[in-house]
């Protein structure tokens, strides 16, 4: 959708696109029972000892990188686990690239 803006130089129109809505988001809006069931499962899954250990390790590595000055809150970077979970096996990379790795 094109919207006219007050003239400043040559730019008089800007394109405003509505945000994309994911299919799962639409599904859970239409099915509150399914949303509640998923929330219950997620809560139980995240409370398992294995997930607690993994989360604690990720938090530790994030704090370590912050102490070293390699990342800051809101800088757009993530800690990427390259070959394991030891402090020597992590690197800092942009969040967009880290989250695109599958």
Euclidean distance between CA atoms 6 and 69, whole angstroms: 43
In which domain, by residue range, is 77 found?
40-102
Per the structure, the count of domains in the chain is: 1
What digits encode the pLDDT tens for the residues 57-89? 888 988 999 999 999 988 999 888 877 667 778
- Is position 80 within any domain? yes
Euclidean distance between CA atoms 25 and 55, whole angstroms: 25
Q: What is the model's pTM?
A: 0.66
Would you state the pLDDT for residue 8?
A: 61
- Is position 72 within any domain? yes
- Is position 85 within any domain? yes
- Is position 16 within any domain? no
- Is position 14 within any domain? no
- Is position 68 within any domain? yes
- Is position 81 within any domain? yes
- Is position 62 within any domain? yes
Euclidean distance between CA atoms 28 and 45, whole angstroms: 19
Nearest to 82 by CA among 93, 70, 67: 93
């Amino acid at each position: 959708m094109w919207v006219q803006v007050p003239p400043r130089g040559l730019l008089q129109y800007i394109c405003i696109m509505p945000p994309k809505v994911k299919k799962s988001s639409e599904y859970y809006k239409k099915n509150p029972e399914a949303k509640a069931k998923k929330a219950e499962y997620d809560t139980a899954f995240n409370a398992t000892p294995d997930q607690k250990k993994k989360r604690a390790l990720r938090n530790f590595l994030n704090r370590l990188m912050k102490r070293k000055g390699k990342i800051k809150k809101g800088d757009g970077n993530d800690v990427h686990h390259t070959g394991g979970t030891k402090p020597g096996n992590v690197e800092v990379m942009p969040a967009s690239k880290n989250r695109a790795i599958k």
